[in-house]
Chain A
Amino acid sequence: MAEPSRPPHSSLAASWAIQRRVIGALLMREVLTRFGRHNIGFLWLFVEPMLFTLGVTILWSVAGAAHGSNLPITAFALTGYSTVLLWRNMPGRCIGAIEPNLALMYHRHVKVVDIFAARLLLEAAGATISFMVLSIIFAVIGWIKPPEDIGKVLFAWFMLAWFGFSLAILMGAWSEQSEIVDKLWHPFSYLLFPLSGAGFMVDALPTAAQEFVLFLPMVHGVELLREGFFGSTFKAHYDIGYMAICCAGLNVLGLAKMREISRTVMPE
C-alpha cells in the first residue's frame, strides 16, 4: 500500500505548489465541461472570440469605408472589439462561478480564489490569443499595418486585462451574496459597450462628452492600445495613472469581497 500523503506543510513554497496543482486541475475541468472532446475541442476557447471579432471587424469596415474617413477602420474595429471581449467576458464568467463547483469544494485545497483564477486565466487567454492571431493574420494579408509601438500595445492590453480581472473578482464574489448582481450585469455591460471606447475615438467627441467618457477606466486603455497601433494618425486621450488607480481600487474591493464570501461558502 502507498504511503499516506505528507502532512500539510505551511511553507509558502508548499502552498504555491498546491495552488498550482489545484488551478491546473480546475483549468482542465473547465476546458472539459465547456468545450468537451468533440470536434475542435478547446480550440473554441479562442476561435469563438475570433469569430465575434472577425464579424464585427468586417461589418464596421464595410460601414466605415462608406464614410470615407482616413481612420484605419480595420485596425480600429479589431482593437475596439477585442478590448470589449477582454474586460466583459472575465466578469461574465466569474458571476455564478461558485455554484457549479460547490461539490468540488469538499476538497480542502479547492478555494473560491482558485475557481476564479482558473476561469480568469482561460478567459484572458482566449481573448488574448484571439487578438494576437487576428492581428498577425490581418497584418500578413495587408488589412492592417503592423503596430507602430508593440510596447504600448502590450502595456495597454495588460491594463485592460487588469481592469477586467478586478471587475470580475468583485462581480463574481458579489454575485454569491446577491442574485441582483447577475441580473444587472447583463444590461450594465451591454450599456457600457458603446461607452467603452470600442466604437469611437475620444478625440472625435465634443469636449463635454470627452470629459464624461474619460471617467470610464477602460476608455483610457483602448486609447493607449490604439496609439500603439496607429498613433501617428490621431490624437489619443488617456491618463494611465487614473486607470491604474481605478483598477487598484476595484482590485482591493474585489479581494475584500472574495475574502468575505470565502468564509461563508458551503459545499453542497
Chain B
Amino acid sequence: MIHIEHVTKRYTTRHGSVTVLDDVNLTIRPGEKVGILGRNGAGKSTIIRLISGAERPSEGLIRRDMSVSWPLAFGGAFQGTLTGLDNLRFICRVYGTSTEDKIAYVQEFSELGRYLREPVKTYSAGMRARLAFAISMVVEFDCFLIDEIVAVGDSRFHEKCRVELFEKRKDRAMIIVSHDPGYVHAHCDRAAVLIKGKLTAFDHVDDAFAFYQSHAAE
C-alpha cells in the first residue's frame, strides 16, 4: 500500500510561495492501476516525485509499504557525461542488483548497439528514451510510477514498452500520470483528477474523465 495523507507542497518562487499541491489524499493498493489526470502545469510531475521520495512534502505524510520505482519518464535520472552502460551500472549499484547479466537485455531492448558505450549526452531524444525505458525494466518494483511515458519512441517501440509494462508486469501497482484521457482509460482501473492543487479521486475512469472535461476550462 501507498498512503498519501494530507500532503501539501509549496515552492518558493520569486513571486513568493506557490502551493502546487493542497491537502492531497490518495491510497494505492497492491496491483492497482491508478491514473492521475491533469493539464500541463497542474502538478502531476510534482505528485509523482513526492510519491517516489525524490522530493519531500511541505506538509503531510507519504507511507510506502511496497517498493516504489523512480518516476519512469523518457529523459531523466541519467548523468549525461557517463555512458549508457555506466548509467546502467550506477542504477544497478544504487538498487543493489547485479549488472553484468542485465547488459545484454538493455542493449537489445534499447536497440542502442555499440552506442551503449558512448556518453548519454551524445544521444538523440529517442535514444535516451529507449535507454531510459530499458534501464527502468532492469530493477523490479511492486509499484511503478509512470510519467507521460506515452511519448516514448516510435509506434513499434511503444508496443514493446506496452508488452513489458502492461503485460509482463500486469500484477504490479502503477500510478500513471497523463494529460491524455485515452491513455489513462486504456491502462487504469480508476483515476483521480488534479485541478488547482486539489486531487479528486473517482472509482471509475469514466467519472474522472467527465469531471476532467467539465473543468477543462479552469
Contact = CB atoms under 8 A, between A and B. Distances in A.
B179 interface: no
A32 B121 CA distance: 15
Chain B interface size band reads: 35 or more
Given A4-B141, A101-B79, A106 B90 contact: no
Interface of B: 11-12, 49, 52-56, 64-68, 70-71, 76-82, 86, 89-91, 93-97, 139-142, 168-169, 172
Given A103-B79, A104-B79, A7 B93 contact: no
Contacts of A3: 140
Contact of A24 (B78, B79, B93, B172): B93
Given A4-B142, A21-B94, A29-B82, A106 B71 contact: yes
A7 B65 contact: yes
Contact of B95 (A5, A32, A103, A264): A5
B93 A21 contact: yes
B76 A7 contact: no
B64 A28 contact: no
Contacts of A21: 93-94, 96
A104 B77 contact: yes
A5 B76 contact: no
B142 A267 contact: no
Interface in A1-16: 1-8
Contacts of A8: 64, 67
Contacts of A6: 67
Interface of A: 1-8, 17-18, 21-22, 24-25, 28-29, 32-33, 100-101, 103-110, 263-268
A25 B168 CA distance: 29
Contact of B90 (A4, A25, A108, A267): A25
B145 to A, nearest CB: 10
Nearest to B49: A267
A30 B172 CA distance: 34
Contacts of A29: 79, 82, 86, 90
